[in-house]
């Protein structure tokens, strides 16, 4: 196959992936302040909510092992990272101001800070996970299933979604041991979930067993539940799911490598689509195209983080990266769930 060498170098680090703004939005932070006048109390309260919001965002984006490394910022530094804010549920008197404030952080500003401090953080898209609560079977109306419907599980780097009532018949006979991907793949596609986790509550011993069906492996064998209520059990289980996903996807930007891959495409428009998708992947920091013909291009890809993380972020962008005949191959994959 005839190829001709090209010296064109792509600089793609400035192109950021599409991610939901909600990941950098911290909602409904309670604020409360008293001062000589209501306007002064309002300013103090809103400014005082900024460190709370920054703490929430930092823990949302980073692994638990890095929480002790959180940069300690003054009010001005936090303020420069906040793009906007919105106030609801205001109550005020002549000297007191109480409200809930939603703070919208600047994604580039936050990421610059984390990189400058060599702190790994999640760069992949929000992971939408279908949770199937079992106790010991699935029941849409029981307290264990309803515990997972709480809004606190619907934002952050992981979003939990549930089956709906129409899925009850298909799931009624499922147990933790018999659960498999084939049984839930249609539900995952309908709910646009990228992963499926079965959460089995054993009230008698105060534990929750978790199993990720797509990989066929448990996230953790069990989770110790701090309380006996379904709500506390769901909190513990969801925390384990989030920790698993962060540990898998948080990128260390000081870890750099390069890999050669062959990109295959059927047309120039498909090649353009692959280039655009590559440009949307934040772990890709540079591309050198070294060979090209009508249906294939050879690329040297510079990236940060691990190879598994590169493959994961490429998959999120719609590019499959597979190993074949001792080479890495890139193909457009529009069939992601």
State the Cα–Cα distance between residues 234 and 153, nearest whole angstrom. Answer: 9
Nearest by Cα to 301 from 285, 316, 312, 314 = 285
Out of 75-89, 215-229, 245-259, pick the least confident.
Answer: 215-229
Contact, 241 vs 193, CB < 8 A?
A: no
Q: Which domains are delineated in the chain?
A: 21-121 (3.30.1660), 127-250 (3.40.50), 252-332 (3.30.70)
**Which pLDDT score, from 0 to 100, does residue 218 have?**
67
Contacts of 64 (CB under 8 A, 6+ apart): 243, 246
**Which pLDDT score, from 0 to 100, does residue 120 have?**
93
Q: DSSP label at 120?
A: -
Contacts of 241 (CB under 8 A, 6+ apart): 129, 131, 158, 160, 197, 210, 219
**Winning range, highest mean pLDDT, from 100-109, 126-135, 143-152, 189-198:** 100-109
- Work out the mean pLDDT of the chain and round it to a whole number: 85
Q: Where does the pLDDT of residue 213 fall: very low under 50, low under 70, confident under 90, or very high at 90 and above?
A: confident
Comparing 4 with 145, which gets the higher pLDDT? Answer: 145
pLDDT, one tens digit per residue, over 101-140 is 999 999 999 999 999 999 999 886 678 899 999 998 999 9
Name the strand (E) or helix (H) holding 246: helix 230-249
- Is residue 249 exposed (0-12), middle (13-18) or buried (19+ Cβ within 10 Å)? buried
Summarize the chain as % helix, strand, coil (round to 5): 35, 30, 35
pLDDT, one tens digit per residue, over 288-312 is 988 988 889 999 999 998 998 888 8
**Which pLDDT score, from 0 to 100, does residue 8 have?**
29
What is the torsion angle, in degrees rounded to the nearest 10, for the CA atoms of residue 68, residue 74, residue 76 and residue 80? -10
Instruction: Output the CA–CA distances (angstroms, integers) from residue 172 to 131, 168, 210, 216, in the order listed.
Output: 15, 6, 18, 20
Contact, 185 vs 150, CB < 8 A?
A: no
Q: What is the mean pLDDT of residues 20-38?
A: 89
Q: What is the pTM of this model?
A: 0.75
Q: Is the peptide bond before 136 cis (omega within 30 degrees of 0)?
A: yes
pLDDT, one tens digit per residue, over 34-60 is 999 999 999 999 999 999 999 999 999
pLDDT at 14 over 90: no
State the Cα–Cα distance between residues 260 and 300, nearest whole angstrom. Answer: 4
């Amino acid at each position: 196959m005839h190829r001709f060498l090209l010296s064109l170098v792509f600089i793609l680090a400035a192109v950021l992936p599409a991610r939901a703004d909600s990941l950098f939005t911290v909602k409904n932070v309670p604020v409360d302040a008293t001062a000589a006048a209501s306007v002064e109390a309002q300013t103090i309260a809103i400014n005082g909510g900024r460190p709370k919001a920054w703490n929430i965002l930092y823990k949302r984006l980073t692994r638990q092992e890095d929480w002790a490394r959180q940069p300690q910022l003054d009010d001005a530094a936090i303020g420069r990272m906040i793009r906007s804010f919105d106030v609801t549920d205001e109550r005020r008197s002549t000297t007191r101001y109480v409200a809930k404030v939603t703070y919208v952080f600047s994604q580039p500003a936050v990421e610059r800070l984390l990189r400058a401090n060599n702190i790994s953080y999640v760069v992949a898209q929000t992971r939408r996970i279908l949770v199937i609560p079992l106790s010991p079977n699935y029941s849409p109306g029981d307290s264990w299933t309803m515990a997972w419907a709480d809004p606190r599980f619907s934002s952050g780097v992981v979003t939990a979604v549930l089956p709906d009532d129409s899925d009850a018949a298909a799931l009624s006979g499922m147990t933790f041991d018999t659960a498999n991907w084939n049984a839930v793949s249609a539900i995952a596609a309908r709910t646009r979930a990228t992963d499926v986790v079965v959460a089995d509550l054993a009230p008698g011993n105060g534990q929750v067993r978790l199993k990720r069906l797509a990989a066929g492996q448990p996230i953790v064998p069990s989770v110790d539940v701090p309380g006996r209520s379904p709500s506390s059990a769901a909190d513990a289980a969801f925390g384990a799911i989030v920790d698993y996903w962060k540990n898998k996807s948080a990128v260390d930007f000081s870890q750099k490598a390069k890999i050669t891959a062959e990109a295959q495409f059927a047309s120039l428009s498909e090649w353009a689509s692959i280039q655009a998708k590559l440009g949307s992947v934040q772990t890709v920091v540079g591309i050198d195209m070294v060979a090209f013909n009508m249906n294939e291009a050879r690329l040297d890809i510079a990236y940060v983080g691990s190879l598994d993380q590169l493959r994961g972020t490429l998959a999120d962008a719609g590019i499959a990266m597979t190993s074949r005949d001792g080479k890495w191959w890139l193909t457009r994959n529009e069939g992601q769930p």
